[in-house]
Amino acid sequence: MSIRHCYIHIPYCASKCPYCDFNSIAGRSDEWTVYVQALLQELRRLPTGPYDTLFMGGGTPTILPPELLSTLLSGIRSHIDLSDDYEWTCEANPSSADAERFKVLAEHGVNRVSVGVQSTDDATLSFLGRAHNAAEAHHTLAEATAQFERVSADIMFGLPQQTAEDLKRDLNLYKQHGITHASVYHLTMELGTEFHARYKHGEQLNCSEQQSGELFDCLMTELATMGFHQYETSNFAHSGAECRHNIAYWTGQNYHAVGAGAVSTIHGQRCTRHKHPKQYINSITAGQNAIQHTETISDIDRINETWMLGFRLQRGVCIQHLEQLGITQDCWQQQAGALQTDGLIDFNNTHIWITRAGRAVQDAITQQFFLDTED
């Protein structure tokens, strides 16, 4: 079956946020043009499609000047066919996205933008090392919603001393701008980040577990009041506004990828490209494939990923998919029965899912279903 999804990575940002462990790098504007050329060179090696979803992430794709963004998008369109009902997302940041760039995106067929807002409070944005302030965030959201029907905004919670009132102020942006998709992430101390190093030296950079639970309850209630339903651990949408690209990923579908550090998964082969843009450019322009690491996903890993990603979804893990992987109901009935009695999971004929009560211990539940890789 043809592969219907493709991820496109732009690794550049205005500055490096201290909590970020994405493959992103500050500045380097002198290499953006040659990076875009290399990216398009790699893209032209992919099947032409048609594709149901494209996702341009980063990094900050909107850091590219409008003309270069236009070159990138035209290059994509000249090679890639899109299905009739395609979804093409571009991530955008308030520090760089503007009406002109949104126009360029829309003119080339992008039909969904995801804006990294994180907070609507200047002091919090400064704490997070973001390159924008609250006024710029609102301005960008107003420009995004003027151009696109489908807009998502990212918000972060779990910050030190963050109160429910603070979070409600941030969440209010969805109502204020008529935004129908919300990605709400808990601040985590990722290994290798500046925050992680400072945290290890005793700095208080996140909130207590109790505060975190209260904030989570607050966001569930607030977003429900605004018509959102949670469809994934960190993602909420109005009906029909869910991100189809990410759902494809969470349901274990094959996808292509291009760009520095981008990961593709095709028929059990997971390929990771060189993370460093310079190395990626050199490899592609030398006619190589820029693949730094290839992993064959074992049957056990595939089953465990199916549990892990599927349990992130509100609808849960597809039982038919499990059966295709050789996991019949007999294999999980015992754990499921006990957890169902405790109200932590539930299942029907098609899916098995974690309940709202179970979300607090999602990782522990998921691990109960894992197969031992030593087996």
Which residues lie near ligand SF4 (CB under 6 A)? Answer: 13, 16-17, 20, 22, 24, 58-60, 93, 116
Q: Is 16 or 139 the residue whose CB approaches ligand SF4 more closely?
A: 16
Task: Note whether 60 and 10 are within 8 A (CB).
Answer: yes
How far, in Å, CA of 89 to CA of 270, rounded?
22
Instruction: Report in angstroms how near the CB of residue 231 gets to ligand SF4 at its nearest.
Output: 23
The phi-psi region of residue 57 (left if phi > 0; otherwise alpha if psi is between -120 and 50; otherwise beta) is beta
Instruction: Report in angstroms how near the CB of residue 190 gets to ligand SF4 at its nearest.
Output: 10
How far, in Å, CA of 324 to CA of 322, rounded?
5
Q: Is 58 or 75 the residue whose CB approaches ligand SF4 more closely?
A: 58
Instruction: Report in angstroms how near the CB of residue 77 gets to ligand SF4 at its nearest.
Output: 25
Which three-class secondary structure state does DSSP give residue 18? Answer: coil
Q: Is 162 or 314 the residue whose CB approaches ligand SF4 more closely?
A: 162
Find the length of the chain: 375
Instruction: Report in angstroms how near the CB of residue 312 gets to ligand SF4 at its nearest.
Output: 20
Instruction: Report in angstroms how near the CB of residue 338 gets to ligand SF4 at its nearest.
Output: 40
Instruction: Report in angstroms how near the CB of residue 126 gets to ligand SF4 at its nearest.
Output: 13
DSSP H or E stretch at residue 258:
strand 256-258
Instruction: Report in angstroms how near the CB of residue 189 gets to ligand SF4 at its nearest.
Output: 14
Q: Is 218 or 257 the residue whose CB approaches ligand SF4 more closely?
A: 257
**Residues of the chain by 3-state class (helix, strand, coil), percent to 5:** 45, 25, 35
CA dihedral 156, 162, 17, 198 (to 10 degrees): -130
Instruction: Report in angstroms how near the CB of residue 58 gets to ligand SF4 at its nearest.
Output: 5
Q: Is 44 or 196 the residue whose CB approaches ligand SF4 more closely?
A: 196
- Between the alpha carbon of residue 147 and those of residues 101, 106, 117, 204, the distances in Å are 10, 7, 17, 40
Q: Is 11 or 49 the residue whose CB approaches ligand SF4 more closely?
A: 11
Instruction: Report in angstroms how near the CB of residue 60 gets to ligand SF4 at its nearest.
Output: 5
CB atoms closer than 10 angstroms to residue 73: 21
- Cis status, amide bond into 50, omega within 30 of 0: yes
Burial label, 111 (beta-carbon count in 10 A; 0-12, 13-18, 19+): middle
Burial label, 332 (beta-carbon count in 10 A; 0-12, 13-18, 19+): buried
Q: Is 116 or 358 the residue whose CB approaches ligand SF4 more closely?
A: 116
Burial label, 97 (beta-carbon count in 10 A; 0-12, 13-18, 19+): buried
Q: Is 26 or 338 the residue whose CB approaches ligand SF4 more closely?
A: 26
Find how far residue 68's CA is from the centre of its chain. 24
Q: Is 14 or 226 the residue whose CB approaches ligand SF4 more closely?
A: 14
